Amino acid sequence: MTEITDTTEVPEPGGSSEGKKPRKGGKRAKKGPLARLALFYRQIVAELRKVVWPTRQQLSTYTSVVIVFVVIIIALVFVIDYGLTEVMKHVFG
């Protein structure tokens, strides 16, 4: 039978990491703010090129589905609100 032992060592505070210097951001810290901004916009354009844009027919279908769904939810909330209002009028006079 194999015996399992825990060999995890907990480092003492301030002990083993005294010789290491903390990182200050890697490659990003070496670039200026304008270079980082330009990189950000290049990445945005690259991501937008990956997007699969819907056709006009798909867009109109999606829009009509959303509008119908919203109208149904509005009607449902109206009916519930009107019903509860009438119940409160009946209960409290």
pLDDT band at 89 (very low <50, low <70, confident <90, very high): very high
In tens, the pLDDT along 30-88 reads 788 999 999 999 999 999 999 999 999 999 999 999 999 999 999 999 999 999 999 99
- Which residues, at least 6 apart from 28, have a Cβ–Cβ distance to it below 8 Å? 36
pTM: 0.50
The structural domains of the chain, with segments of one domain joined by +, span 53-92
Residue 88, number of CB atoms within 10 A of its CB: 10
